[in-house]
Amino acid sequence: MNHFDLKGSELACEEVPLARIAEAVGTPAYVYSSATLERHYRVFHDALAACPEIGEPWIAYAVKANSNLAVLTTLARLGAGADTVSEGEIRRALAAGVPAEKIVFSGVGKTAAELAFALDSGVGEINVESAPELELLAAIAAERGRRPAVAVRVNPNVGAGGHRKIATGKAEDKFGVSIAEAERLYAEAAKRTSLRPVGLACHIGSQITDLAPLEAAFGLMRGLVERLRGAGLPVERLDLGGGLGVPYFNQSDPPSPADYARMTAASVGGLGLRLAFEPGRVIVANAGVLLARVIHVHARPDGRRFLVLDAAMNDLIRPAMYDAYHDIRPVKPRAGEALAYDVVGPVCETGDTFSRARPLPPLEAGDLVAFMSAGAYGAVMASEYNTRPLVPEVLVRAGEFAVVRRRPTYEEMLAREPLAPWLASPRSSRP
């Protein structure tokens, strides 16, 4: 459920007509709904908290999905923690008011400088993904007189996810260590005076629409917890990652947070573990749209009809990168029979195609359209390819809206690139 609905004859976000936002900030623009963000966080939290075997969950929102400071602040005020994968994301979470102890630092390639920053910030947990990383962290922590809480990230060899590029739990994927290696690494961590091994972590993929692989992975994690405890090693926490899918298609019906919570409680509940979760997409995807304007409708003599938008693959890369489907809705739908459109952007490659032969109500130049479910992995993955400025982000709340990231000016974009000294003078360097 989200708060993007027709209000009269036009699409609105929490009562604010999207056309009004387009008028005020221009297009393309990302628009986020506070009510949807809040609702999704609460539904996810409450579903887990309602299971007595789970207790109070640690919900570390995956900052990578949408790291806008206003979005993070909205979630932080509801009590969210943060799952972070870079110094930049830790800085964002702290700036948004997430307490350091609710921050998890994950990722396969944390640099020494990032680990030092995380230690000095006092993050609540560092998820270690390999033996060399454990060594590096132990050394840096010892040097700085710290003793961080560490979880070992396990790669359970269970595949899941909406696309091969976002499946992370198979043995051949770069993430984490095997179950056997985790047992060894955990015991190793326990010997280090500068580390405090507290638990295990796993994250097997994203846009998971079937609970079975999650259940299989959680079962393996339970077995590992029991074996470690059997070996006399204390295990207090289990971080179960993110991954729960969302309905990108109206007809698709991924498991609900309540289904997910019941499965989790049955798989790993009752072990006296503090359970952590790292949801990203399920919190933000349906809380955001990308608003775009039709530049041309280009009908070819062969019957092909291109809908050329002012948004492109650099603004929303998911269709080009993962063949992802996003629902496209006209902001003021015109009457008439649906027509098949190839929906494209202005970027100079065929990859800049959002959808082929998409049936849509008739559209004309100047019309606005909204890419639905674009709140996750939309703005965060944008680039300035073709020297297209990063798209502004707008947050709506109960009839009000605010620009929460503005569009840079061309002057700002060009000013970031000083000339090399030998290019600064106008004369040509070759005779």
Contact residues: ligand LLP, CB under 6 A: 62, 64-65, 83, 106, 166, 168, 203, 206-207, 241-243, 278-282, 318, 322, 376-377
Give yes or no: 348 in active site.
yes
Taking the C-alpha atoms of residue 33 and residue 103, their distance in angstroms, rounded to an integer, is 24
Taking the least distance from each CB to ligand LLP, the nearer of 130 and 194 is: 130
Least spacing, CB of residue 262 vs ligand LLP, in Å: 18
Q: How far is the CB of 361 from ligand LLP (least distance, A)?
A: 27
Task: Say how many C-beta atoms besides its own lie within 10 A of residue 233's C-beta.
Answer: 15
Pick the closer one to ligand LLP by CB: 306 or 322: 322
In angstroms, give the least distance from the CB of 338 to ligand LLP: 27
Cβ of residue 365: shortest distance to ligand LLP, in angstroms? 30
Q: How many Cβ atoms are within 10 Å of 354's Cβ, its own excluded?
A: 27
The first and second tokens of residue 93, run together, are 């979470």
The rounded distance, in Å, linking the Cα atoms of 229 and 223 is: 10
Q: How far is the CB of 245 from ligand LLP (least distance, A)?
A: 7
Residue closer to ligand LLP by CB (options 367, 393) is 393
- CA dist 163 and 259 (Å) reads 22
Query: Which among 412, 388, 392 is positioned nearest to 402, based on CA atoms?
Result: 392
DSSP-derived pairing of the beta strands 4-7 and 10-13: antiparallel
d(CA 66, CA 26): 21
Scanning the structure block, which residue is given the tokens 């004309």?
Answer: 364
Sheet holding 16-17, edge to edge: 4-7, 10-13, 16-17
Residue type, 351: G
Contact 64, 38 (CB under 8 A): no
Residue 427, Cα to own-chain centre: how many angstroms? 48
Note whether 233 and 190 are within 8 A (CB). yes
CB atoms within 10 A of CB 142: 14
We find the least distance from the C-beta atom of residue 181 to ligand LLP, in angstroms, to be 18
CB of 302 to ligand LLP, least distance (A): 33
Which of 13, 51, 202, 348 is an active site residue? Answer: 348
Q: Which is nearer to ligand LLP, 21 or 317 (CB)?
A: 317
C-alpha distances in Å from residue 110, one per residue of 102, 105, 127, 132: 19, 9, 10, 11
Using CA atoms, how far residue 267 sits from 164, 200, 222, in Å, is 26, 15, 7
* Alpha-carbon gap, residue 395 to 3, rounded angstroms: 12
Q: Directed axis angle between helix 112-121 and helix 87-95, to 10°?
A: 20
Nearer to ligand LLP, 14 or 83 (CB): 83
- With respect to ligand LLP, which residue has the nearer C-beta, 318 or 397? 318
Residue 330 preceded by cis peptide, ω within 30: no
Q: Which is nearer to ligand LLP, 197 or 241 (CB)?
A: 241
Question: What's the one-letter identity of residue 344?
Answer: V
Distances in Å between the Cα of 164 and the Cα atoms of 116, 159, 173 are: 33, 9, 10
- Closer to ligand LLP by Cβ: residue 16 or 316: 316
**Which positions are annotated as active-site residues?**
348
